[in-house]
Amino acid sequence: MKVVGVTGGIGSGKTTVCQIFEHLNVPIYYADSRAKELMASNSDLKADIIKSFGEDSYTNGQLNRPYLAKLVFTSPEKLALLNSLVHPAVANDFEGWLEENDTVPYVLKEAAILFESGAYQDVNTSVLVIAPEDVRLQRVMKRDGSSKEEVLQRMKNQWTQERKAKLADHIINNDGTQLLIPQVLELHKKFSGK
Ligand code: ATP
């Protein structure tokens, strides 16, 4: 069974692309949302986060997302530290998930920082979803009601599309000029060996 990593910058449309694969019954592991769940539920991980970022990381046992987000989105060092705590927990969880989904030709793993984190080396092949920065910015501001500055700040912590494209095995263009479904169907055919 193949593991296909799907990534793309903020607002590129990776979740939208994964939703199309979902319609084709491909199992998908959403690494970023799973990471958030684990930060809320995994007691070892919670203890590590409190040790590194302080008691304010949790309020009444719940992850204090605004507090942590403010810390990590303005400091690459703190972001790297948080990632170094969260990634082993997610990797472990992913291994368990893979065992439960080992009856299909391939699964997808969606992760925002597949290349930045080095996780692309652990997948069999990778898909990068691309769209111009201004399009991504507009989409995220509309989706989240975020300010331009907030989105640009988050973009700064990610590699440029050009840097990621050099490492990507496949590219889906989501700039609005090409339909997504035919691009997904072509990759599905390839990955499922049909
Ligand atoms: P993030 O990194 O923030 O999780 P993402 O890469 O998963 O973002 P999506 O959430 O899939 O991106 O897309 C961002 C927004 O743009 C969503 O509101 C989505 O509905 C919209 N969108 C995605 N693709 C298109 C498209 N081709 N045309 C118009 N809107 C789109």
- Pairing label, strands 58-59, 62-63: antiparallel
| CATH architecture for segment(s) 1-27+106-189 | 3-Layer(aba) Sandwich (3.40)
The average pLDDT across 115-121 equals 91
pLDDT on residue 86: 93
Model confidence, pTM: 0.91
Residue from 6, 114, 139, 156 to probe ligand 1 pocket by mutation (most atoms less than 8 Å from CB): 139
- pLDDT tens for residues 13-49? 999 999 999 999 999 999 999 999 999 999 999 999 9
Ligand 1 atom closest to the CA of 8, numbered from 1: 6
**Ligand 1 pocket by C-beta < 6 Å: which residues?**
8, 10-16, 112, 139-140, 143, 174, 176
**Which of 145, 135, 72 shows the shortest CA–CA distance to 64?**
72
pLDDT on residue 73: 80
Q: Is the dihedral of CA 86, 89, 92, 96 positive or negative?
A: negative
Which residue minimizes the CA distance to atom 26 of ligand 1?
176
Residues 46 and 43: their CA atoms lie apart, in Å, by 5
User: Residues 53, 68: contact at Cβ < 8 Å?
Assistant: yes
Is the per-residue pLDDT at 114 higher than 80? yes
Ligand 1 atom closest to the CA of 10, numbered from 1: 2
**Which of 132, 130, 124, 108 shows the shortest CA–CA distance to 169?**
124
pLDDT on residue 74: 83
Higher model confidence: residue 157 or residue 113?
113
CATH 3.40.50.300-classified regions of the chain: 1-27+106-189
